[in-house]
């Protein structure tokens, strides 16, 4: 690769999140408008590197996409050049095709690639950097579980969607005197459930980091009934688990770098409450509703700031780094510090303390 920057690549990997198009727009506009570089977009995340699927991105390609959910490049949470899966069933195997990916990057004459994604995407980016690829990362996930950044874009939108859902569920719960269980995404981290539970006035919030006791949940519901509050809202993170138990696994996806798909804990909690207290209990699983739709203004701005920062990191040849939000500033950190790690909720986090002080039960 030359000493000057002439062309860069960009991809979006992992699960989709509101704000991906906003960050792509910022990358393309900054690279072309400010630096006069060419920009190549890889289709469907790292699959584009292996399958040699890419296209040149111009200003017209990113016009009008700021408010759109999803990603114009497509994404994949199973494509990994270091463990590329082949075959099915008993004949299934995986091979390392990372050197093919590197060769394709070189053949396109790219001086660097910007990888937008969560911990899995950034871990692969770190692997490519060790093979000599000039990489810059941008953190993305509705789960907010990436190390070394205060927030990820997509999280604010997901919290807003979850909070609105809880607001709506409040009225039907109160009208029918029901216990309403709302299950949200988050994988092994409880940030989404914690924020939405507090914002939506949840009575009980269950997160993976604080294993729950079903007796404590039932005691909270019973205490509310005694005070004349004949309904309760339970917000459950998909990775929540009972004390001494394991998270509920909905299914496994063999091709994925993270094959476990969580889901079903809401139904388990609801069944326990209903059988113990003989109270009508209903479950709402928000699922992929949290990933879709128009990003909030906050996520659009954050995504745009991160996208522009990533391009400037390339311009300064500060490779192997990830753009991040630190306080109110956009700074950067080594991707190595982010790879293969998850940022979980500390049990003594200020928001957990706030919840306890304002009467939220965490199942303890």
Catalytic site positions: 143
C-alpha–C-alpha distance, residues 264 and 63, integer Å: 40
Distance, in Å, from the CA atom of 281 to the CA atom of 225, rounded to the nearest integer, reads: 14
What's the Cα-to-Cα distance from 284 to each of 172, 201, 304, 355, rounded to whole Å?
12, 16, 33, 22
Q: How many CA atoms lie within 13 A of 10 on its CB side?
A: 32
Distance CA 315, CA 277 (A): 62
Query: Which among 244, 241, 161, 180 has a CA at the least distance from the CA of 207?
Result: 241
Half-sphere exposure of 337 (CA within 13 A, CB side): 10
Closest to 189 measured CA to CA, from 156, 160, 150, 146: 146
**HEC profile of 319-332:** CCEEEEEECCEEEE
List, as one string, the DSSP characters of 23-81. Answer: HHHHHHHIIIIIT--EEEEETTTTHHHHTT-EEEE-GGGGTT-TT--S-TT---SS--T
CA angle 304, 98, 30 (to 5 degrees): 20
The Cα 254–Cα 239 span in angstroms is 19
Residues 6+ apart with CB under 8 A from 343: 144, 145, 146, 147, 189
Q: What's the token pair of residue 355? A: 């919840």
């Amino acid at each position: 690769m030359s000493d000057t920057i002439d062309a860069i690549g960009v991809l979006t990997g992992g699960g989709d999140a509101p704000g991906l198009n906003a960050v792509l727009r910022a990358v393309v506009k900054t690279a072309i408008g400010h630096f006069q570089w060419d920009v190549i977009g890889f289709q469907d995340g790292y699959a584009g590197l292996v399958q040699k699927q890419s296209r040149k991105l111009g200003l017209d390609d990113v016009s009008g996409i700021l408010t759109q959910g999803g990603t114009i490049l497509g994404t994949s949470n199973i494509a990994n050049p270091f463990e590329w899966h082949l075959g099915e069933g008993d004949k299934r195997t995986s091979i390392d095709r990372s050197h093919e990916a590197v060769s394709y990057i070189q053949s396109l004459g790219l001086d660097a690639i910007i990888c937008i994604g969560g911990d899995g995407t950034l871990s692969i980016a770190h692997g490519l950097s060790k093979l000599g690829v000039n990489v810059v990362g941008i953190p993305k996930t509705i789960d907010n579980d990436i190390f070394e950044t205060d927030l990820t874009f997509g999280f604010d939108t997901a919290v807003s969607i979850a909070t609105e859902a809880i607001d709506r569920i409040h009225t039907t719960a109160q009208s029918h005197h029901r216990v309403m269980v709302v299950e949200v995404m988050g994988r092994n981290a409880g940030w989404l459930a914690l924020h939405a539970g507090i914002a939506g006035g949840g009575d009980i919030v269950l997160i993976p980091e604080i294993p729950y006791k079903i007796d404590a949940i039932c005691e909270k519901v019973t205490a509310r009934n005694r005070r004349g509050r004949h309904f309760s809202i339970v917000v459950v993170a998909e990775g929540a688990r009972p004390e001494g138990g394991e998270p509920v696994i909905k299914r496994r996806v063999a091709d994925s770098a993270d094959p476990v798909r969580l889901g079903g804990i809401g139904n388990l909690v609801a069944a326990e409450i209903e059988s113990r207290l003989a109270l009508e209990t209903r479950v709402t699983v928000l699922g992929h509703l949290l990933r879709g739709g128009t990003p909030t203004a906050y996520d659009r701005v954050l995504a745009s700031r991160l996208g522009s920062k990533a391009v400037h990191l390339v311009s300064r040849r500060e490779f192997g780094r990830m753009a991040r939000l630190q306080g109110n500033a956009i700074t950067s950190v080594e991707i190595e510090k982010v790879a293969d790690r998850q940022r979980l909720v500390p049990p003594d986090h200020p928001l957990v303390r706030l919840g306890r002080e304002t009467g939220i039960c965490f199942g303890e």
